[in-house]
Each structure stands twice: as structure tokens, then as C-alpha cells.
Structure 1
Amino acid sequence: MHCDRMMMNVSAWLCLLTYFMLTVDLTLGLGPNQDMEFTFLLPAGSTECFYQTTVRNDSMEVEYQVIAGSGLDVGFALISPSGHRLVSDFRRSDGIHTVDPTEDGDYRLCFDNSFSKLSEKMVFFETRLDSVYQHLERSRQVQTVLRAFEARDRYLLEDNLWRVSFWSCLNLLVMFAVAVTQIYTLQRLFDNTRRVCT
């Protein structure tokens, strides 16, 4: 009985501490276009929801993992501000989901442990928000790298073309010289044979 009460007190303190940390993180500006990482204790038989403010032009990636607790599984749902369920996982130990929000507002990230009546779970999750500008900037960087590769390949191609052309011409000249020499030698041989015969 004493151990159960002590575990409930520890769980309550951990929950209070995690809520405090989340509040401080959100207060310090972990809003849009920021990464947020969070670890919390999900009590048995309960559901916990967190909110992430997102604008329409952002892309949101949510990654979660159950790191402690019996079964290492939770349910997960990502719900839009208008109440539409965008993602739904049932009894999974981890997951990664990327969504492109179509509306502004607070998206709900809900973790469900209601199916477990005895075991609490420790869950880690992370959200990443990328704006369209960041996507365009990343695309521009990739295109710059590809242009550099293309310039290098073009230089190598032109250099190789010059070498191939030079050696081809040289081989052609050598073959021409060998052919002329062979024809001259055969003519001299036949001329010498005629002189001997006469």
C-alpha cells in the first residue's frame, strides 16, 4: 500500500514536472518553425494531448517512441484544428508522420494509453516544422550542388574529349605512316624481283 502511494506521488511529480517543462518551452518561443522534443509519463488508462501551432504553408513532421513501460506501445492521433483526424496509430511502439497542414491553428497530438489499466508508459516525441521558404531554400541549395556537379562533369567530359581526339588523330597518323611504309616496301620488293628476273 505504501509502495503504491509512493509510486502515485512520483508519477504525479513527474507529470507536473513535464507539464512545467512544456509550458516553459512554449513560453520561450518553441512555436512555428521550431523543433520541439519532449519526454513525458503517460499514466495507465489515460490519454494526453499536446498542441502545436502551425500555419498553412508549413510542413509538420511528428516522431514518437515509447521508451519505457509494459508492452512499449501507445495509441497516437494527430487531429487538425477543425477536428479532422489526420493520423491514427493503434498500439504502436514508434512512428514517424509528415503532414502538410491545410489550415492555420493548433494541431492536437494525442497519446492514448487507455487500453492499459496497470502500466504507465514513458513516451518521447519530437515535432519539426518546415516552412515553404525553408523548402525553397533547401531546393536552391540542392540545385547549386547539382550545378557544381554538372560543371565538374562537363569539364571532365571536355578534357576527355580532347584526349580522345588527340590520341585518335595520332593513331590515325601512325596507321597511315605504317600503310605508306608497307606499300613502299612491297613496291621496292617487286621492283627488285623484276630486275633479278631480267
Structure 2
Amino acid sequence: MWTVTVCNFLVIAYILSLTTASMETALTFQVPPRKEQCFYEDVQENHEIEMDFQVVDGGDLDIDFQAYDGSLKRIAINRRESYGTHTFTVKESGVYKFCFSNKFSKLTSKTVFMDVYVDDGVYTADNEAEEGASLHAGFTTLHKQVDNIKSQLFKTQVQLQLSKAQRNKDQKIQNSNKIRVDRWSMVQCVFMILMATVQVYLLKQLFKEDKSAKRQARI
């Protein structure tokens, strides 16, 4: 009984001591016209970066994107895109730079959703847990399963966030189209009323001319 309790304690201690340097950042921000916004991420060697962005509001829903590694070498570029997905493997430590440019737009601000996930792929365990050498193989298998579940949950979260951003974008487009249809319908109604008024006026003028002509003929 005591042995089982100790084993359970070691399993729990090992799971709790599993740590990663994984980091996730999700932002929604605005880029004013003729401006550029940049974000920086300090990443260590052998880490992996996964980033997604999507324009959810503003103009034609497009923006320029550029990514730079620690040596300021450009590693990705998108020109006037609505969305983008990039994966980078960090070969040397440094500060990575992600820039969103709206310089081509003179009047319209852009609202952008960005999600950045950094994963080192290296896991460390507490020294006390490592003393249970006989349980190491089982811990490794359990760790892999937990890591796989975590990875799937993260991908699901990203997809949900992108779906939400896409839904917001579609709603913005729908509202914009509705406003355009309402305005055009109003213009058409005003034009039809104006044309009807002109036609009635012209018909009245024709009858007035006929009456005046008959009066002159009688005289």
C-alpha cells in the first residue's frame, strides 16, 4: 500500500514538474493609415515559431506583412493580403520582428488579429522525479501523450480564434453591403419620385397649352 502511494506521488510530481518554454500571444490591434506597427519576440535557438494573422476590419481587408530574424534578415513577406500563416525554425537566438504596414492606405485604418506561438520542444523534469528510474519509460509515454493533447488543443484554439476573426470580418462585409444597398435604394427612390414629378408637370403643361389654343380659336 505504501509502495503504491509513493509511486502515485512520484507520477503526480513528475507531471506537475513538466514545464515548457512554450508561449502564446494573441493580439487584436489597429494600424492607422500611412503607418506601420511592429512587434518583437525574443526567441532562443532551436525554438519554433508559428504565427497567424488576419485583417478583420477596414478598407479592402488587406495589409502588408514582413518578418525578420535576429540578424534583421527578412524571412517572410505578404503584400496586401487579408490573412497569412507562417512557421519559422529558429537557427540562432535573437529578437524576431513582425511588422504590419498600412502605408499604402491614405484614409482607412486596418484592424488586425495576430496569434504567435513559440515552442522550444524541450522539456525538463524535477530531479526528485528522475529518481524513479523504473518509471521513466511510463513517464515518457505519458509525457508524449500529454504533449500531443496540448498541441491539439492549441491548434484547436488557433482555429477557433481564426474562425471568430473570419466571422467578424464576414459580419463587417455584410453590414457594409447592407449600407450600400440601403443608400442606393434611397437614391433610386428619390430619382423615381423626381421623374414622376417632372412627368406630371409636363402633362399639366400640355393640357394648359391645349386650353389656351382652343380659347384663341373661338375668338
SS at structure 2 position matched to 1:66: strand
Show the counterpart of 2:63. 74
Instruction: Give the deviation of 1:132 after TM superposition.
Output: 2.1
Question: Pick from 125, 128, 143: which aligns with 2:117?
Answer: 128
> Hey, what does 1:65 align to over in structure 2?
54
Q: Normalising to structure 2: TM-score of the pair? A: 0.47
Deviation at 1:69, TM superposition (A): 0.1
Give structure 2 stretches of 5+ with no counterpart: 1-20, 124-139, 149-219
**So what's the TM-score if we normalise by structure 1?**
0.52
Q: CA RMSD in A?
A: 2.7
Paired positions, count:
113
Q: How much has 1:131 moved relative to structure 2?
A: 1.2
Alpha-carbon distance, 1:137 to partner: 8.3
Structure 1, unmatched stretches of 5+, are 1-31, 145-198
What is the letter of the counterpart of residue 44 of structure 2? V
User: 1:118 maps to which residue?
Assistant: 107
Q: Does the C-alpha gap of structure 1 residues 104 and 40 become closer, same or farther in structure 2, counting only changes over 3 Å?
A: same
Q: How far does residue 130 in structure 1 lie from its aligned partner after superposition?
A: 1.2
C-alpha distance in structure 1 between counterparts of 2:63 and 2:110, whole Å = 8
1:107 matches 2:96: yes
Aligned-pair CA distance for 1:64: 0.4
Larger Rg: 1
Kindly report which structure 2 residues correspond to 1:26-105, keeping only aligned pairs within 5 A, or say none. Answer: 33-105=22-94
Aligned pair in 2 of structure 1 residues 79, 118: CA closer, same or farther (>3 Å)?
A: same
Q: What is the match of residue 192 of structure 1?
A: none
Distance, in Å, in 2 between the alignment partners of 1:75 and 1:140 is 38
1:91 aligned partner, one-letter code: R
Distance 2:87 2:28 in 1: 20
CA distance in 2, matches of 1:76, 1:139: 37
Report runs of 4+ in structure 1 exceeding 4 Å deviation.
Answer: 136-139
Identical positions, percent: 33
CA distance in 2, matches of 1:86, 1:115: 21
